[in-house]
Chain A
Amino acid sequence: MKIQVNGEEKITSSMSVYDFLLTIDCDPRPIAVELNRSILAKKDYRTTFLLEGDQLEIVWFVGGG
C-alpha cells in the first residue's frame, strides 16, 4: 500500500508506526510523529497501524536560532 512520509510517497505493508520507523532506520526516541495531521503520542506507536493513504510527518530537532 502507499502512504506519504514527509511529503514522499512510500510503499509499505501494513504494520505499526513503530515497526515502520524501524524499517526506515529511524530511532523513535528523539522524534515526533504526526499521523494525518494529528500528533501521535509515543506510547501509541506500537498500537497504531498504518492504512492506505496515511500521511506521516516525522520531525526532529535541528540547529536553529
Chain B
Amino acid sequence: MILQNDSLKIAGREFRSRLMVGTGKYADFSQMAKAIEASGADIVTVAVRRVNISDRNKESLLDHLDLKKYTLLPNTAGCYSADEAVRTCRLAREAGLSDFVKLEVLGDEKTLFPNNEELLKAAKILVTEGFTVLPYTSDDPIVCKKLEDLGCAAVMPLGAPIGSGLGIRNPYNLRIIMETVSVPVIVDAGVGTASDAAIAMELGCDGVLMNSAIAGAQNPIAMAEAMNLAVRAGRLAYLSGRIPRKLYATASSPLEGVIE
C-alpha cells in the first residue's frame, strides 16, 4: 500500500517506477521490449548515433518502444568532452522532442569514469539551454553538490564502473551525497544483481539506473523482473525503517514463562 502512493519526482514530473533501464546490448528488439516491460520501468535510456546511410534496412529502436508509455532518456555515452556532449544533447532533443538528457562525459576508455570538469561545463550550458539534465557522476558529494547548484534535476552517482557488476562499492559516499543534495539521487552503473539494486534503495537512494545487469544476464527478461522486485523491495524496506544493527543477540520470544 505504501508504494502505491510513492513516486519518483524529477523536474516536476512524477514516475511510478524507481527503476530506469537501458536499451543496449540485447539480442534483439523483441527481447529488449519484453525485458523493459518486465522491469516495470517508466524511463528508458537510449544512445544517439549516426544513421547508417548505406544500409537502410535497419529497424528503428523507436518502432519497438511505446512512447506513450515510456519516457526516453537519451544519453551522451561515448562523449569525452563538454562540446561533444552538448552537441549530442541538442541532436537528442531534436530527434526525441524532449528536454530530458542523461549527461555523461567520460574520462577514459578503461574505467569509463566521468570527467567531472567537462561534466560541470556541459551541465552549465545545457541547463541554460533549458535541458532537464540528469548527470552520471562520480560518487563525490562535492561534485554532486556543484551539479545541483548548476540546476541539474537529479544526480546519478556510479555504484561501480559501468558494466562491471561490482555492486554498490561505496555506500558511505552515497549516504553523504543524499545528505548533501536535495535533488533525487539515482545510482547509475555498477549493479550486477538484484541485491545490489535493493542495497541502493535500502540506503535511501531515489532510484537505480541499469543496463548491463539486465541485458547481459543469461535470461534478461527474468532478470528484469528480479530488478523490478528488488527496487520495490529495497524502497519499501527503506520506507519501513529497518532495525538498528547490534553486536549481540536480542531474543524474539518472551523471556517470561520459560518452563523450568
Task: Assess whether B23 is interfacial by the CB under 8 Å rule.
Answer: yes
Which chain A residue shows the least CB distance to B52?
A6
- Contacts A24-B56, A25-B56, A42-B94 hold; do A63 and B51 have CB atoms under 8 A apart? no
Main secondary structure of the interface of B (DSSP, over half): mixed
- Contacts A30-B62, A63-B25, A65-B45 hold; do A39 and B51 have CB atoms under 8 A apart? no
Cβ contacts under 8 Å, A57 to chain B? 50, 91
Number of A-B contacts (CB under 8 A): 106
Cβ contacts under 8 Å, A30 to chain B? 60, 62, 95
Interface stretch, picked from B70-78, B146-154, B164-172, is B70-78
Closest Cβ of chain A to B162, distance in Å, is 7
Cβ contacts under 8 Å, B205 to chain A? none
- Contacts A61-B74, A64-B22 hold; do A6 and B45 have CB atoms under 8 A apart? no
Task: Assess whether B212 is interfacial by the CB under 8 Å rule.
Answer: yes
Task: Assess whether B15 is interfacial by the CB under 8 Å rule.
Answer: no
Q: What are 8 sample pairs from A and B whose C-beta atoms fall under 8 A apart? A: A6-B51, A39-B94, A60-B61, A63-B22, A63-B46, A64-B47, A64-B75, A65-B210
> B: which residues have CB within 8 A of A?
22-26, 32, 45-51, 53-54, 56, 60-62, 72, 74-75, 77, 87, 90-96, 162-163, 189, 209-212, 215
